[in-house]
Amino acid sequence: MSETRHVPVMLQRCLDLLAPALAQPGAIVVDCTLGLGGHSEALLSTFPSTRLVGLDRDTAALKLAGERLASYGDRATLVHAVYDDLPEVLENLGIPRVQGVLFDLGVSSMQLDEAERGFAYAQDAPLDMRMDQSAGISAAEVLNTYPPGELVRILRSYGEEKFARKIVEVVVREREKEPFSNSARLVELIRGALPQAAKRTGGNPAKRTFQALRIEVNGELPVLERAVPAAVRALAVGGRIAVLSYHSLEDRLVKQVLAEGATTTAPPGLPVVPERYQPRLKLLTRGAELPTEEEVAENRRAAPARLRGAQRIREDVA
């Protein structure tokens, strides 16, 4: 059942980071990546006067999370949306500001565990990888139709794959013989395309290519680029944001947005800094916090997690 296979990552630390903002009566927290509802359930039970808005683009996850959170009644409002839709979602619900925002980025346990979704390179499955299976193009379509140069760019930018050109040469040659449909064939071709030395280190050699395809299919980085600043704008003064990232591209982007908010925008040399130039955020984590060794031992999916948090300390001044 979903509850047993889904272990929320860095759960206690996320709750501790958000707690000062959610302790006040009538606080609203947004879980931008609802998944199977593990973090949301903990937020609702830990902060009994808090109302939760949960977003997910995956209709299957929404259904399961809805069942899990049903006992909380109207304290939980679940919405089918991608997290960069946050401003519209809050406007539709008549919520001007929120006290807490949580992002748990990356692929949910359910998407990885269900072979037919095509996220996992360790089992043969259709190359789909869409988080919302009602929209967008699949990973197979990306492989079969994108120009070679574009595929190389995606593998390099999103997968940080050093052998992108080698892999794409093989993909282009093979797709002309027969279009890609399943993951096993792609994994096999990647193994064949990489030099021996590259196959001896860093886990499954297909890992970086699969990551790159997933990010492209779901538009993850452009969505995140819009979503984190939107979440910061949605915070009331005193409100807090916590973001869990799982690879360096996500973490870099989150770090940039939070660091920018925590920096003065005043021209150098001003004797007194006017309020409109003062930082809007205070960072709550020194760099990115990592899961403990105990947590990684219990839940291997926590291993790459990086947690950053910030608090809204003032309104924007025009």
- Dist. CA 55–CA 299, nearest whole Å: 24
In this predicted model, what pLDDT tens digit does every residue of 60-117 receive, in sequence order?
Answer: 889 999 999 999 999 999 999 999 999 999 999 999 999 999 999 966 554 454 545 4
Q: What is the predicted pLDDT for the residue at 318?
A: 59
Q: What is the predicted pLDDT for the residue at 220?
A: 87
Averaged confidence pLDDT in the chain: 89
Q: What is the predicted pLDDT for the residue at 101?
A: 98
> Within a 10 A sphere around the Cβ of 12, how many other Cβ atoms?
12
Q: Which residues contact 311 (CB under 8 A, 6 or more apart)?
A: 21, 238, 239, 240, 241, 281, 282, 284
Block residue for tokens 């360096």: 248
Q: What is the predicted pLDDT for the residue at 271?
A: 86
- Dist. CA 145–CA 156, nearest whole Å: 18
- Dist. CA 23–CA 50, nearest whole Å: 8
Q: Which residues contact 153 (CB under 8 A, 6 or more apart)?
A: none
- The residues of the chain scoring below 50 in pLDDT are 1-5, 110-111, 113, 115, 117-118
Task: Please list the residues that pair with 51 across neighbouring strands.
Answer: 28
Which residue type sits at 69?
A: L
Please say whether the beta carbons of 129 and 58 come within 8 A: no
Q: What is the predicted pLDDT for the residue at 1?
A: 33
Q: What is the predicted pLDDT for the residue at 4?
A: 40
Block residue for tokens 């809007």: 280
SS (H, E, C) the chain: CHHHHCCCCCHHHHHHHHHHHHCCCCCEEEECCCCCCHHHHHHHHHCCCCEEEEEECCHHHHHHHHHHHHHHHHHEEEEECCHHHHHHHHHHCCCCCEEEEEEECCCCHHHHHCHHHCCCCCCCCECCCCCCCCCCCCHHHHHHHCCHHHHHHHHHHHHCCCCHHHHHHHHHHHHHHCCCCEHHHHHHHHHHHCCHHHHCCCCCCCHHHHHHHHHHHHCHHHHHHHHHHHHHHHEEEEEEEEEEECCHHHHHHHHHHHHHHCCCCCCCCCCCCCHHHCCCEEECCCCCECCCHHHHHHCHHHCCCEEEEEEECCCCCC
